[in-house]
Amino acid sequence: MGTSKGYGGPPTGLVPSWLFPSGGNAGDSGNSDGAGEDNGNGDALNDVGDSSNPSSAGAGGFTNARTAFTRFSKNGSTSSLGAAMANYVGSSSGGGRRGGGSGGAGGARRAAQRMGSSRGAGARLLGVVKDFQQIGAADVLRSLNLDGMANQPAADVFVAMLEFLCPPGGAIDEAISRQAMLEAIGNLDQAGAPEFGALGPNQLREFFLDFVVLSIEGRVIADIGARGLMVSADIETLESRHTQLHEFIEGCCRVHLSGLLTGVEAMSNRDVDRRIDEVYEAAFSLIAEAGEDAQ
């Protein structure tokens, strides 16, 4: 199904635009072990997390996860992907669903804290979903200076909200959030969403969950997957591995997280902030458990 006339889809395809920061292509990397490559300044090229984020891991913090992800990029093995994800969250070090552990992201709670800009964007999006159900589409749009757009295609309206939902910034963290939102908008449009004012609670919930899944996917690629994907033999293999990663994360999270959105229309703004943290922490717990099971 084509996109609406006003919305042309996200600016990139399946593969994130920041995957090849130096303009490289799949298969260009000579580093096959997944460990960070030194750039001459003592920095690991794979440590592409937002350095301004106090939850960012230091160089080498994701070595085991990167090594497993590079193995997955080469062989497409579900067990290798599971090992990468379990190591990333830190569940293989004893964290599991409790959010502890000393390896990788240090457990589900710390992995959730790494989401940075995506947590902020997710909270603003969940706030829009809440207000839509509390006060109606017209008043939500009025509060954002978007009066008169209730009868416009939903994708076009969310694009108009983009600066509010995902304020622009130069860091990888902001790029992850912004691309995830754009891809979620594209998916909403391709699903044949109605005009904004006619969106139902289920459609709003699925749009929000799509953003959560895509933002986690982007964070994982930035932290452990960029180098691994770059050693893929060709672009078709790269896109296939990216699809596998997306389906793994979505399969872990989507249905289970829906329960955390029950009663969103009755939440306060403080409740929304707490709930977004709970959503991301629950997502990483589910990912860690699925990763362990896949090995």
Q: What is d(CA 293, CA 236) in angstroms, rounded to the nearest whole number?
A: 27
pTM for this entry:
0.81
Q: What is d(CA 110, CA 89) in angstroms, rounded to the nearest whole number?
A: 8
* Nearest Cα to Cα of residue 222 among 11, 50, 37: 50
Mean pLDDT of 204-216: 98
Q: What is d(CA 65, CA 292) in angstroms, rounded to the nearest whole number?
A: 13
Residue 119 makes CB contacts below 8 A (sequence gap 6+) with 112, 276, 277, 280
Query: What's the helix, strand, coil split of the chain in %, to 5?
Result: 60, 0, 35
For 251, phi and psi rounded to 5 degrees? -65, -35
Hey, is 44 helix, strand or coil?
A: strand
Q: What is d(CA 218, CA 176) in angstroms, rounded to the nearest whole number?
A: 6
More confident residue, 20 or 116: 116
Mean pLDDT of 197-214: 97
| C-beta atoms surrounding 191 within 10 Å | 14
DSSP 75-115: H--HHHHHHHHHHHHTGGGT-GGGT--SSTTSSHHHHHHTT
The pLDDT score that the predictor gives to residue 231 is: 76
Q: Which two structure tokens, joined as six digits, stand for 220? A: 């994982």
Hey, is 80 helix, strand or coil?
A: helix
Mean pLDDT of 211-237: 89
Mean pLDDT of 86-102: 57
Residue 154 makes CB contacts below 8 A (sequence gap 6+) with 188, 189, 193, 194, 195, 196, 199, 203
DSSP 198-238: G--HHHHHHHHHHHHHHHHHHHHIIIIIHHHHHTSSSHHHH
Confidence band of 232 (pLDDT split at 50, 70, 90): confident
The pLDDT score that the predictor gives to residue 16 is: 56
* Nearest Cα to Cα of residue 204 among 118, 283, 119, 126: 126
Report the range of poorest mean pLDDT among 57-71, 75-89, 212-226, 274-288: 57-71
**pLDDT tens for each residue of 25-49:** 544 444 444 444 433 333 333 344 4
Res. 24: pLDDT tops 80:
no
Res. 241: pLDDT tops 60:
yes
Proportion of the chain above pLDDT 90, given as a percent = 65
Q: End-to-end alpha-carbon separation of the chain, Å?
A: 37
More confident residue, 18 or 113: 113
Hey, is 50 helix, strand or coil?
A: coil
Mean pLDDT of 286-290: 96
The pLDDT score that the predictor gives to residue 104 is: 61
**pLDDT tens for each residue of 139-196:** 999 999 999 999 999 999 999 999 999 998 778 999 999 999 999 999 999 999 999 9
**pLDDT tens for each residue of 43-55:** 333 344 443 443 4
The packing angle between helices 235-258 and 78-89, to 10°, is 60
Residue type, 46: N
* Nearest Cα to Cα of residue 65 among 97, 34, 93, 31: 34
Res. 91: pLDDT tops 50:
no
Could you tell me if 264 and 67 are in contact, meaning their C-beta atoms sit under 8 angstroms apart? no
Res. 120: pLDDT tops 90:
yes
The pLDDT score that the predictor gives to residue 227 is: 81
The pLDDT score that the predictor gives to residue 262 is: 92
